[in-house]
Structure 1
Amino acid sequence: MSRHALDVALELEALGEGRFGGRTTPEYWNMGGPFGGVTAALLLRAVLAHPARRGRPVAQTVNFCAAIGEGGFVIEVRLARDGRSTQHWQVEMSQEGRGTVTTGSVVTGAERQTWAHASAAPPPADDPSSVPAMPTAGRNAWLSQYEFRVMEGRSTFDLEPPGEIAPARSKLWVRDKPERALDYEALAGLADTFIVRILLVRGYFIPVATVSLTTYFLAGEADLARQGARPLLAVADARAFRGGFADQSGELWADDGTLLAVSHQVTWYRE
């Protein structure tokens, strides 16, 4: 049986303490480099592979400094602070001839039995099987590695300008394609599957990129195991587009109503 494309993309070779080597894969290619979600998943994988790591991921920030070229890369992981409850990691990806292309940080922490309360609730949603899958053929390769079932918001951005301004909010079901059991690396990738909002709001393509992405992991190991390979309920929205930059936020819910992760990012766009 062939390996899942995500597992191939996340393959890292230990090069020494805190250093890992890997290669880009065509399956997750975006406009000018790899899909940002797989880059986030790679940085997280490197931290999780470090022998000094304790606990599960709590938070991750990824700063996309420059376009990542095809081929090899090196990820360096450094434990910046080892506390009683949390560990703080610094991560950097570099390529020969390009220097630093991505920087980031990861916070890990041990799960504990504590008081719990959820003030947020998932939005109502149709059964995934009743929502048609969005066509991805002929688009950037990474889109074909996911199954999108859109219930609210635009699902395309290939309209001829001038497009009619649409709401920034989207609601959809999403999962890896083919199906893959959920883990933290996959969750990090899924947190970046929300199309850059300005493309959907305006309805046509302009140059865009994510500048910085932060994901907060609220799911414990048991939550991920319970979800398995079933689709996640995803909600995304934006607040403002101004001066070439825009925000956007996302939520990823298990199908039992558990909030698994929230993400916030700032994106860049050019007229």
Structure 2
Amino acid sequence: MTHVFDEATTVEKLDSADRYTVRATTHPAYNNMVGPFGGITAATVVRAVSDHPDVLGDPLALTINFAAPIAEGEWELALEAIRTNRTNQHWTFTIGQNDQIVATGTAVFGVRRETWADTEGDAPQLPPVDDVPATDFPDFIAWARNYDKRFVTGSLEAASDDSTSTLWLRDEPPRPLDFPALTSMTDAFFPRVFLRHGTYMPAGTISLTTYFHATRDELAAQGANSVRATARGTRFGNGHFDQYGQIWGDADVLLATTHQLVYYKDAAQ
């Protein structure tokens, strides 16, 4: 049986005289308040580049800029490898729908080599996952039902002076972690302005960047286990804020970091 995540990130190669182009289709299971969940769109891009016949290595970085909401239905992703070096490869892409560009971005793929290594910063230390109750989001946020979310701090229960959320997170139903799924998880943090105000507000991601630190072996070792996820905002004002997140695996392995810019409106606007 195909997992709903794989259904939602399926692409079909199109004949094109110009750039390498694939077609994707939004999936109702990953609907957001407006348009599809941004994480599933980013994951689809990673899957499409990974499946390209000329791809080099695995994802290292992805930036996707959402110029307009994606409507329900089909959309097209045009990919171009603009330079391939010995160990890294640089891509640009556009997402089009109804003859309009709705998103742009870049991706870097590459070959990982054994070198000196260290991780600065500490993984969040959480109670055992089974000791933390799962949390549901409202029904109108469909994508959240595809994740098992167990908040230790920062669930959306009341306004807070601290925008930090830390939680156990995994696909629901459980699914072995891979690069597309990890991509989607880096956008699974609700906008930090919700937590500061203790309520849902008009908000949406403008630009999402993900840095992939995990190797294939580390993802395989993680399997379908829950990851530790933490995020916080930095500055809020003038209709925008940024938020920074980390995804940690077993054995305190840092799998990915993410930074995004989000727009918001006050409830009265």
Indicate whether the TM-score tops 0.5.
yes
Tell me, which stretches of 5 or more residues in structure 1 are unaligned?
A: 157-162
CA contact (8 A) 1:232 1:253 kept: yes
> Counterpart of 1:178?
173
Calculate percent identity across the aligned residue pairs: 39
Q: Displacement, 1:120?
A: 2.1
Which consecutive aligned stretches of 4+ in structure 1 deviate over 4 angstroms post-superposition? none
| Residue 174 of structure 1: how far off its partner (Å) | 0.4
The whole-number CA distance in structure 2 between the counterparts of 1:120 and 1:220 is 19
Whether contact under 8 Å (2:155, 2:195) holds in the other structure is: yes
What is the aligned partner in structure 1 of residue 10 from structure 2?
11
Deviation at 1:101, TM superposition (A): 0.8
Change (3 A) 1:175 1:213: same
Distance 1:135 1:257 in 2: 26
Question: What is aligned with 2:122?
Answer: 121
Which residue in the other structure is 2:76 paired with? 74
* SS of residue in 1 equivalent to 2:229: strand
Which residue number corresponds to residue 45 of structure 2? Answer: 43
What pairs with 1:118-267 in structure 2 (closer than 5 Å)? Answer: 118-136=119-137, 138-156=139-157, 164-267=159-262
Distance apart, 1:138 and its partner CA:
2.1
Query: Could you tell which deviates more after superposition, 236-245 or 15-24?
Result: 15-24
3-state SS of 2:104 partner: strand
Cα distance per residue 1:5-56 (max 9 Å; x no partner): 1000011111136110111110000011000000000111111111110111
Q: 1:222 Cα shift?
A: 0.4
1:137 offset after TM fit, Å? Answer: 5.5
Partner of 1:256: helix, strand, or coil? helix
Give distance in 2, aligned partners of 1:127 and 1:90: 41
Secondary structure at the aligned position of 1:240 is classed as: strand
Q: CA deviation at 1:123?
A: 1.9
Query: What's the offset of the Cα at 1:164?
Result: 3.8
SS in 1 for 2:134: coil
The one-letter code matched in structure 2 to 1:45 is R
**Runs (5+) with no aligned partner, structure 2:** none
Match of residue 106 from structure 1: 107
Please state whether the residue corresponding to 2:219 is helix, strand or coil.
helix
| 2:8 partner letter | A
Q: Is the 8 A contact 1:18 1:78 kept in 2?
A: yes
Superposition RMSD on alpha carbons, in Å? 1.2
Query: Are residues 76 and 152 of structure 1, via their aligned partners in 2, closer, same or farther at CA, if it must alter by over 3 Å?
Result: same
Deviation at 1:256, TM superposition (A): 1.6
Alpha-carbon distance in 2 for matches of 1:202, 1:255? 33
State the TM-score, normalizing by the size of structure 2.
0.95
**1:146 CA drift (Å):** 0.5
Residue 133 of structure 1 contacts residue 149 of structure 1 at CA under 8 Å; is this kept in 2? yes
- Which of 129-138 and 175-184 deviates more? 129-138
Against the structure 1 CA distance between its residues 164 and 172, is the aligned structure 2 distance closer, same or farther, given a 3 Å change threshold? Answer: closer
Aligned equivalents of 1:154, 1:136: Cα separation in 2: 10
Q: Is the 8 A contact 2:29 2:146 kept in 1?
A: yes
Q: Does 1:270 align with 2:269?
A: no
Secondary structure, counterpart of 1:154 in structure 2: coil
Q: Residue type of the partner of 1:104?
A: G
CA distance in 1: counterparts of 2:55 and 2:139, whole angstroms: 40
Distance 1:207 1:155 in 2: 15
- Give the distance between the partners of 2:245 and 2:159, measured in 1 at CA: 23
| Residue identity matched to 1:141 | A
Distance 1:203 1:137 in 2: 14
Task: Report the residue type matching 1:9 in the other structure.
Answer: A
Separation in 2, partners of 1:196, 1:96: 28
Aligned mates of 2:160, 2:222 — CA distance in 1:
36
